[in-house]
Amino acid sequence: MHLRTDLRLENVTLSAGSSVVLKGVSLQTSLAGITLLSGRNGTGKTTLLRALLGLDKPSHGSIFLRNAVPEDIRKDVGYMPQSIGDAALAIPAFSHVLNAVGGACWGLPFHWRARRREAERVLKLTGARVFAHRPLGALSGGERQRIGLAQALIGAPELLFLDEPLAGLDHGAQNEIISLLCELSRNLGIGVLMTSHETSSLKDVVSRTLLLEGGHLRARI
């Protein structure tokens, strides 16, 4: 298999407040298949994902995704944040996805009919269409994760960055989400980079692990 370099860090120093998340880290890796970004609470996984999206900036060094700076490749990257804002919980899940298709973040020019089609498409992909009429706050954790995933799939991204998509789920629901991620990666060729503390549930499906610890990031195949 051809392993291209999807992610390249060149001497990156990255901080959040007074915490130094990366201390002069250089690393290059493929993101094909499923990549687990692992590390203890507070080591900086969310901060690193945000930097890969161009939302946070390193104080030193450079980040490249597929040879582009993060800002230039944002439309090819779907993102599921660690938590959805409380204000969103009252609106129907479908509207939540539909609003996101508007593409305010990613600059996609969608006509309203095409927006609706795109919302239907991504909800179908994640098996969330059947409960998408209900308010987000009235959905179970697993159902909500499928809505979040649907939102991240808008615009057919090549890479998916998922922050704790298994958090708060029981084993059955975790396995359902893991199977879904495997399908997305296998059938659509999407490279998935996800944070999770569920390393044992994921050990058979991940292609590689990136371990974040004490300001260092190490890859393990």
Measure the CA–CA gap between 28 and 142, rounded to whole angstroms: 33
Binding partner of residue 43 among ligand ATP, Mg ion, none, CB cut-off 5 to 8 Å per kind: ligand ATP
* Sites of contact with ligand ATP (CB under 6 A): 16-17, 19, 21, 39, 41-47, 82
Please identify the residue of the shown chain whose CB is closest to the bound ligand ATP.
17
Residue 23 beta carbon to Mg ion: minimum distance, rounded to whole angstroms: 19
Using the rule CB under 5 A, is 196 a contact of Mg ion?
Answer: no
Closer residue to Mg ion, CB minimum distance, 82 or 201: 82
**DSSP code at position 59:** S
User: Minimal distance in Å, beta carbon 2 to ligand ATP?
Assistant: 31
Query: Please, which residue, 32 or 37, has the CB nearer to ligand ATP?
Result: 37
Q: Which residue is closest to Mg ion by CB?
A: 46
Nearest to 91 by CA among 99, 81, 80: 99
Residues 56, 47 contacting (CB under 8 angstroms): yes
Contacting range for Mg ion; rule: CB under 5 A; set: 29-37, 38-46, 70-78, 149-157:
38-46
157 binds, among ligand ATP, Mg ion, none (CB under 5 to 8 A by kind): none
Q: From edge to edge, which strands make up the β-sheet containing 77-80?
A: 77-80, 159-163, 191-195, 34-38, 208-213, 216-220
Q: Which is nearer to ligand ATP, 136 or 212 (CB)?
A: 212
Q: Which of Mg ion, ligand ATP, none does residue 44 bind (CB under 5 to 8 Å by kind)?
A: ligand ATP
Strands 7-16 and 34-38: unpaired
Contacts with Mg ion in 46-105 (CB under 5 A)? Answer: 46, 82
Q: What is the DSSP string of 81-124?
A: -SS--GGGGGSBHHHHHHHHHT-TTTT----HHHHHHHHHHHHH
Residue with tokens 């919980």: 89
Q: Which does 19 bind (CB under 5 to 8 A by kind): ligand ATP, Mg ion, none?
A: ligand ATP
Q: What one-character DSSP code corresponds to residue 209?
A: E
Tokens of 92: 């129907």
